[in-house]
A and B are shown apart, each in its own frame.
Chain A
Amino acid sequence: DQQVKQNSPSLSVQEGRISILNCDYTNSMFDYFLWYKKYPAEGPTFLISISSIKDKNEDGRFTVFLNKSAKHLSLHIVPSQPGDSAVYFCAAPTDTSYGKLTFGQGTILTVHP
């Protein structure tokens, strides 16, 4: 039972264009979501988060949108840069007592020059 799902294994985008990465979740009780970025042979790096009391959070080129009714969130990167090429994971704390994170499967983003 996957509580956090990323259904697109990969995404290819031209430099300067928008990248949209999607994530779905099953439990309407989830109240916080995070996006991590991972380069090969490195650990995940925190990118941006959103609380369920908001529907949008923006940080520079990165914006996360949350649609609670659809149990869906998306990460927008505008404009995309070749250095953004990485694996992107969405995650949610599925144990509110201790903060255990459940991750999606990840989406490989490739930004072409």
Chain B
Amino acid sequence: EAEVAQSPRYKITEKSQAVAFWCDPISGHATLYWYRQILGQGPELLVQFQDESVVDDSQLPKDRFSAERLKGVDSTLKIQPAELGDSAMYLCASSLLGTGGGETQYFGPGTRLLVL
């Protein structure tokens, strides 16, 4: 069964350092999402790609976060510099078309980030 791959699974860093997360969506999925989940809350969308284009980054803290999906396949999310409040689970998801109603998003295992 096709899955969304993410790495690393866990990352511990000190504040002010740079971190990067990688995601490989299900093959053929045009839409890729990065979510952040803080403990006790539901996932919140950070950025959404349709192929290689960003279609929603309204909740992405652009002063420190960046995301790219250069060839419309895998994606990287970067934080520089990391802050204590960035400690969370970073989830990548993909869907076939990204058209909303009736379509399921499939999630990867996530990257647990701890900023010290």
Contact = CB atoms under 8 A, between A and B. Distances in A.
Interface stretch (A12-20, A63-71, A98-106): A98-106
Given A43-B108, A44-B107, A32 B102 contact: yes
Interface residues of A, number: 30
Nearest to A9: B40
A25 interface: no
A43 B94 CA distance: 12
A66 to B, nearest CB: 14
Size band of the B side of the interface?
Answer: 20 to 34
Nearest to A52: B101
A100 B54 CA distance: 13
A46 B99 CA distance: 17
Given A103-B43, A103-B44, A43 B100 contact: no
A97 to B, nearest CB: 7
Contacts of B69: none
Contacts, number: 86
B31 A42 contact: no
B56 A105 contact: no
A96 interface: yes
Contact of B42 (A31, A32, A91, A95): A91
A34 B9 CA distance: 25
Contacts of B104: 34, 46, 49
Contacts of B4: 43
A31 B101 contact: yes
Interface string B31-49: 1010000001111110010
B13 to A, nearest CB: 18
Interface of A: 4, 6, 9, 31-32, 34, 36, 41-46, 49, 51, 89, 91, 93, 95-106
11 contacts: A9-B40, A43-B108, A43-B110, A44-B43, A45-B107, A46-B105, A89-B42, A97-B55, A97-B100, A99-B101, A103-B42
Counting from the closest, the 6 A-B pairs by CB-CB distance are: A103-B42, A43-B107, A99-B100, A32-B101, A96-B100, A93-B100
Given A42-B109, A103-B42, 4 more contacts: A93-B101, A98-B31, A98-B100, A105-B42
